Amino acid sequence: MRQDDESSFLLIEADDDVQVKDVNGKDKLISLKHKKEGETVGTLSVDFWKSVRIWLDRYKRDGKLACSHAYCMATTARVGPNSMLKHFQADAEPQPADFAAKLLAELQNSSTELTTEIKASMADLSDTELGDFFSRIVIADCSLRINELEAAVASQLKSVIPKFRTDVRERLEGWWFGQAIELIRKKRAPITSSEVWLMVSSISNQYHDERLPVTFEEEVPPEGVDPLNDSRQFVQQLRSISIDTVGLEMAILDFYRAVSQRSHWARVDVLLGGEMKRFEARLVEEWKRAKSWVSIKGLSTDAQVLEAGQLLYQWAENESRHLQIRKQVTEDFIRRGSFHILADEKPEPRVYWHPKFLDMLKTPVGAVP
């Protein structure tokens, strides 16, 4: 799609392996053939004539001369130097005037089920229609092999800082595979060229001074979420201030996503030296300010202590959105999950919600509410 107009869109397993349609409704049907290294494509290549059989059906279905099709076989094999199919290569000289007749003469020498079916299908086409049909075909031989695609995609990412290109490519591939599956399952509209380039831009733009790549916003733990039996310290903290089951589930998700996201940032080296340490220090400092504020009302009764803890947690959840690791990293799970990471630190949490939680930690196991 890198060579197509941005208004074009792509279908998979529709009229061919791949179908590209432009804004004017013109179709390019593409057959994909991944062959062993060193293979060549001869005049009677089964791969080629299987594609011809598909294209013939579409050509006749859509009005023959009146149809707006172009046909392409993209193969990793090389067209043999003596094969008549060399006239279908993109850089080939114009086809001879009697090319269609000579190609059909070669086809007459084969009596396989496939060629017999194709000869029967071509029998009702006029010489003009046969010439028109063959003139629409292009063979893109020596196409990229699957192990060469990474480098090809990376070559389109020159605007991305070099050390981030692998991560951008992997994220783009993940998005593409997901969309392709949805397309094959007919769960989404065709993929447009502009959509692809917008996604490239969206992902690559996350790797700059005021932004960070966010890749775990919708992820869930592979083992699931079990708020009733989760014994981690940050969950115990929330139980101590009577957070309900739904609240516990959300906190566990935020914790998992933040841990995963922070690990990803560390792996691809997008953070500046000490950046995470400074972010956590700021969270702790602002937490101390908020804790001091909620304690002003007095903590003389158990109800007041519980309310103070709930107010402090409410502040962290909903009133601390200004605390961001970078200006344009505004996803709440990063801040909320980072608070939970601090609340889970051992041997002593750097933040806590219940005013007496540190005292609770000193009690025997099982005595923490």
Supply the mean pLDDT for the chain.
Answer: 90
Provide the pLDDT confidence category of residue 234 given band limits of 50, 70 and 90: very high
Could you give the CA distance from residue 199 to residue 353 in angstroms, rounded to a whole number?
Answer: 40
- Mean pLDDT across 131-135: 93
- Mean pLDDT across 342-362: 94
Task: Provide the whole-model pTM.
Answer: 0.62
Could you give the CA distance from residue 368 to residue 356 in angstroms, rounded to a whole number?
Answer: 10
Could you give the CA distance from residue 216 to residue 140 in angstroms, rounded to a whole number?
Answer: 39
Helices (H), the chain: 46-61, 99-108, 113-122, 127-135, 149-154, 165-184, 193-204, 233-240, 245-268, 275-294, 302-318, 332-343, 357-361
**Quick check: 342 pLDDT over 90?**
yes
Render pLDDT for 308-336 as a digit per residue (tens, 0 to 9): 999 999 999 999 999 999 999 999 999 99
Share of the chain above pLDDT 70, in %: 96
Could you give the CA distance from residue 218 to residue 107 in angstroms, rounded to a whole number?
Answer: 55
Single-letter amino acid code for the residue at 157: L
Per-residue confidence (pLDDT) for residue 58, from 0 to 100:
95
Per-residue confidence (pLDDT) for residue 336, from 0 to 100:
98
Render pLDDT for 246-269 as a digit per residue (tens, 0 to 9): 999 999 999 999 999 999 999 988
In terms of residues, how long is the chain? Answer: 369
Render pLDDT for 197-213 as a digit per residue (tens, 0 to 9): 888 888 888 887 788 99
In this predicted model, which residue has the larger pLDDT, 360 or 369?
360
Render pLDDT for 45-68 as a digit per residue (tens, 0 to 9): 999 999 999 999 999 999 999 999
**Quick check: 112 pLDDT over 80?**
yes
Q: Where are the beta strands (DSSP E) in the chain?
A: 9-12, 18-21, 27-33, 40-41, 69-75, 78-79, 137-140, 191-192
